[in-house]
Amino acid sequence: MIAELGQFAIIMALLAAIAQSILPLIGAERLDSRLMAFGSQASLIQLLFVFLAFGCLTQAYIVSDFTLVNVAENSHSTKPLLYKISGVWGNHEGSMLLWILILAVFGAAVAAFGRNLPVTLKARVLAVQAMIGVGFLTFLIFTSNPFARLLLPPENGRDLNPLLQDPGLAFHPPMLYVGYVGFSVAFSFAIAALIEGKVDAAWARWVRPWTLTAWTFLTGGIALGSWWAYYELGWGGWWFWDPVENVSFMPWLMGTALLHSAIVVEKRNSLKVWTILLAILTFSLSLIGTFIVRSGLLTSVHSFAVNPERGIFILFLLAIAIGGSLTLFAFRAPSLKAGGIFSPISREGGLLLNNLLLSTACATVFLGTLYPLFMEALGGGRVSIGPPFYNNTFVPVMVPLLLLVCVGPLLPWKRADLIGVLGRLKYAGLATILAILLAWYVTEGGPLLAILGLGIAAWMLLGTLSEWADKIKLFRAPLSTSWQRMIKLPGSTWGMTLAHSGLAIAVAGMISTSAWKVEDVAVLKPGETISVAGTDYRFDGVRELVGPNYQAVEGTFTVSQNGEFMAVLKPEKRLYNVQKMPTTEAAIYSTFVGDYYAVIGDQVEDGGWTVRIYREPMVTWIWFGCTLMVLAGLLSLADRRLRVGAPAGKRKQEKREQKSQRNAAA
């Protein structure tokens, strides 16, 4: 009965979305305020019904209702409750429903927070947002119904893939989806602006918080996913240039570009056409990413035929969404008036160069991900594209971008003096040279490219910090003045400093762990010791464990350096009862300078155990840096100037300014 309620709810949500995508548009055209206001109501109704449907599916998972195909195929009665709930989106149908739920939440949020938006713009944004909803809801209802029933329900379910039975599943997909779907708001704003034929600084100020929200969550989602892969897969890798990763990375690259170009629209009323295009492209990449994974295209062109119904539907939706928006763009963009003029060497010029490099980087990933598909489709044979390709193409694009990260913010608007700006970075430059020498000394002359890479990271960090010190006049004014200046820095400035520093720290971690990772494999009997990179791992033996839905073998290692005890590592090897699939739970001892990572494998004939040990230098810096970037996004969001619907403070400030001006005049 509850499943039927869910079924009913998604159909009602579809009807609400259809009405929402048509009526407010007509209202905006005819300036009919009732029709325009309908957009807000409909978005709330849509959210209500989608939420109800999601609740129904969750209920079916919690009570293990195996009369539903979806639950029977992906759940099991002995599964722990956490994985019963997170298992709702651990499958195709459920994850589509989550996507739609987040889309509806964003739509309702625009309706709720957008009170001071111009009514026509708001109506159009909500209509476009609803159109996306219509596309996804029809896809869900007609090709991927999560509420389909089984005539002969099985006694128990087939369980969730053991690799997914991890707390990571509870957080990673929802965060990633908030990121993906969040860009839909920027997209809707862009389309609405094209329909209105008006883009101005106010428009950019409304778009930026939404883009920032999406970017923050996408950053967090990707970082969380890479951390999950790092500890769950059991061989210490954190990024594989896997197509599934790439499709989440592309919207991130484009979204980062969008975030930067929106600044130019907001502050200088320039680059409007380009920013609109970026908003369209960013969300298009989110769509391509979601759909390409869903359609099975990634494995091979041939697997597309496994479920042609879904595949064709997806292609059709992509063609309408991307083709339609780009066509609208081509027709309406020329009518948008160009804004302020600037020279190539200026803040705007720097941001534009940032956009060019990020777009090139994104195109590189796009080619690497989709080229094999095109080649195969055109009968050109099959090729594999892996890390060697990206090392040769992606990395060279990133190097200039990273080098310029700390230069751009120092450039003044409109026209800049590059020599002067570089002069302000002379201390950072000197310190960078020292950092390179230090890295060279510590690593005893390690690989030159890696040391130079660390130099780039140091330059980014030191340059960013020196720009910050410049801003608060650190050491050039009394400390109390610096303190005053510091606490007065706006949230978005803090966000920029923190995000760039986080990126520098993450890059340092990536380079170190790629260049100086040490791994070893051996067969050990209890009592034996293996030495990896100057650290001793004594294998103390194994014991059997019984989990809620798995059996496990747990090994114990005592880690020590020069006879000094450091940690005890207890890696597990699990066999899940239902799917009979073995998984490994690596044991990791994390420190500031690196991770000590142990994995236990199979027992061999003579009684020894296969043991894998990894030493990952500075690997946690990657996720620490990403955490800083997420914090930076949140800080920027908290900036009052960005918060739409919070103008009270600004008004107060203006009054204060007027008063002080009056005083000055008197």
Partner 1 sequence: MRGLLLFTAVLFLFTVNSDPVQAFEPDEVLDDPALEARAREISKEVRCLVCQNEPIDSSNADLAKELRIVVRERLVAGDSDDDVKSYLSDRYGDFVLFRPPFNTATFLLWFGPLLVFGIGGIGLIFFYRGNKNLKLANPLSPEEETRLNQLLDENEKTKSSNSGETS
- Of the pair 95, 213, the CB lying nearest partner 1 is at 95
Helix, strand or coil for residue 536? strand
Residues 70-99 that bind partner 1 (CB under 8 A): 89-92, 95
- Which of 260, 241, 583 minimizes the C-alpha distance to 395? 241
- Of the pair 187, 239, the CB lying nearest partner 1 is at 239
Identified binder of partner 1 from the candidate list 14, 169, 321, 552, rule CB under 8 A: 169
- Of the pair 49, 313, the CB lying nearest partner 1 is at 313
> Does residue 599 interact with partner 1 by CB under 8 A?
yes
Residues 612-641 that bind partner 1 (CB under 8 A): 612
Smallest separation, CB 236 to partner 1 (Å): 10
- Of the pair 377, 593, the CB lying nearest partner 1 is at 377
Rounded CA-CA distance 119/443 in Å is 61
Smallest separation, CB 604 to partner 1 (Å): 8
> Does residue 360 interact with partner 1 by CB under 8 A?
yes
Identified binder of partner 1 from the candidate list 135, 179, 182, 601, rule CB under 8 A: 601
Length of the chain: 666
> Does residue 46 interact with partner 1 by CB under 8 A?
no
> Does residue 157 interact with partner 1 by CB under 8 A?
no
- Of the pair 124, 517, the CB lying nearest partner 1 is at 517
Smallest separation, CB 229 to partner 1 (Å): 5
- Which of 450, 278, 441, 451 minimizes the C-alpha distance to 355? 278
> Does residue 666 interact with partner 1 by CB under 8 A?
no
Residue 164 near residue 87, CB atoms below 8 Å: yes
Helix, strand or coil for residue 545? strand
SS (H, E, C) 466-534: HHHHHHCCCCCCCHHHHHHHHHHCCHHHHHHHHHHHHHHHHHHHHHHHHHHCEEEEEEECCCCEEEECC
Identified binder of partner 1 from the candidate list 53, 163, 373, 632, rule CB under 8 A: 163
> Does residue 480 interact with partner 1 by CB under 8 A?
no
Write each residue from 573 to 592 as x if it is in contact with partner 1 (CB under 8 A), else as -, in one continuous string. x-------xxxx--------
Identified binder of partner 1 from the candidate list 135, 146, 157, 225, rule CB under 8 A: 225
> Does residue 235 interact with partner 1 by CB under 8 A?
yes
Smallest separation, CB 75 to partner 1 (Å): 14
> Does residue 174 interact with partner 1 by CB under 8 A?
no
Residue 288 near residue 257, CB atoms below 8 Å: no
User: The tokens of 246 are what?
Assistant: 């790439």
Smallest separation, CB 652 to partner 1 (Å): 20
> Does residue 229 interact with partner 1 by CB under 8 A?
yes
Q: Give the range of 41-49, 160-168, 536-544, 546-554 binding partner 1 by CB under 8 A.
A: 160-168
Rounded CA-CA distance 275/75 in Å is 44
**Ordered strands of the 518-524 beta sheet:** 518-524, 609-617, 594-603, 587-590
> Does residue 252 interact with partner 1 by CB under 8 A?
no
Identified binder of partner 1 from the candidate list 64, 78, 482, 610, rule CB under 8 A: 610
Residue 289 near residue 180, CB atoms below 8 Å: yes
> Does residue 245 interact with partner 1 by CB under 8 A?
yes
> Does residue 359 interact with partner 1 by CB under 8 A?
yes
What sign does the CA torsion over 426, 489, 625, 535 have? positive
Residue 584 near residue 553, CB atoms below 8 Å: no
Identified binder of partner 1 from the candidate list 52, 375, 631, 644, rule CB under 8 A: 375
Supply the DSSP symbol for 594.
Answer: E
Residue 456 near residue 403, CB atoms below 8 Å: yes
> Does residue 176 interact with partner 1 by CB under 8 A?
yes
Q: Give the range of 193-201, 244-252, 441-449, 472-480 binding partner 1 by CB under 8 A.
A: 244-252
Rounded CA-CA distance 243/237 in Å is 15
Identified binder of partner 1 from the candidate list 243, 491, 625, 633, rule CB under 8 A: 243
Q: Give the range of 61-69, 76-84, 166-174, 482-490 binding partner 1 by CB under 8 A.
A: 166-174
- Of the pair 135, 236, the CB lying nearest partner 1 is at 236
The number of helices, as runs of H, and strands, as runs of E, in the chain is 21, 10
Q: What are the backbone angles phi and psi of residue 396, rounded to the nearest 5°?
A: -60, -30
Which residues fall within 8 angstroms of residue 312, CB to CB, at 6 or more apart? none
Angle at 613 between CA 612 and CA 619, to 5 degrees: 130
What sign does the CA torsion over 427, 431, 434, 440 have? negative
Residue 121 near residue 111, CB atoms below 8 Å: no
- Beta pairing, strands 550-561 & 529-532: unpaired
Write each residue from 386 to 425 as x if it is in contact with partner 1 (CB under 8 A), else as -, in one continuous string. xxxx---xx--x----------------------------
Smallest separation, CB 574 to partner 1 (Å): 11
- How many residues belong to the site for partner 1 (CB under 8 A)? 81
Q: Give the range of 146-154, 225-233, 430-438, 559-567 binding partner 1 by CB under 8 A.
A: 225-233
CB neighbours of residue 593 within 10 Å:
11
Smallest separation, CB 317 to partner 1 (Å): 18
Smallest separation, CB 338 to partner 1 (Å): 7
Identified binder of partner 1 from the candidate list 4, 242, 417, 654, rule CB under 8 A: 242
Q: Give the range of 44-52, 63-71, 171-179, 470-478 binding partner 1 by CB under 8 A.
A: 171-179
Which residues fall within 8 angstroms of residue 183, CB to CB, at 6 or more apart? 211, 214, 251, 255, 258, 279, 282, 283, 286
Identified binder of partner 1 from the candidate list 206, 228, 304, 468, rule CB under 8 A: 228
Identified binder of partner 1 from the candidate list 16, 262, 352, 511, rule CB under 8 A: 352
Rg (CA), the chain: 27
Residues 302-341 that bind partner 1 (CB under 8 A): 303, 338, 341
Smallest separation, CB 430 to partner 1 (Å): 31
> Does residue 293 interact with partner 1 by CB under 8 A?
yes
> Does residue 450 interact with partner 1 by CB under 8 A?
no
> Does residue 371 interact with partner 1 by CB under 8 A?
yes
- Beta pairing, strands 564-569 & 594-603: unpaired
> Does residue 261 interact with partner 1 by CB under 8 A?
no
> Does residue 343 interact with partner 1 by CB under 8 A?
yes
Identified binder of partner 1 from the candidate list 381, 445, 527, 534, rule CB under 8 A: 381
Supply the DSSP symbol for 320.
Answer: I
User: The tokens of 480 are what?
Assistant: 């109390």
Residues 507-546 that bind partner 1 (CB under 8 A): 521-523
Rounded CA-CA distance 128/401 in Å is 34
- Of the pair 252, 468, the CB lying nearest partner 1 is at 252
What sign does the CA torsion over 59, 65, 66, 69 have? negative
Rounded CA-CA distance 155/514 in Å is 48
Rounded CA-CA distance 654/665 in Å is 16
Strand (E) or helix (H) holding 546: strand 535-546
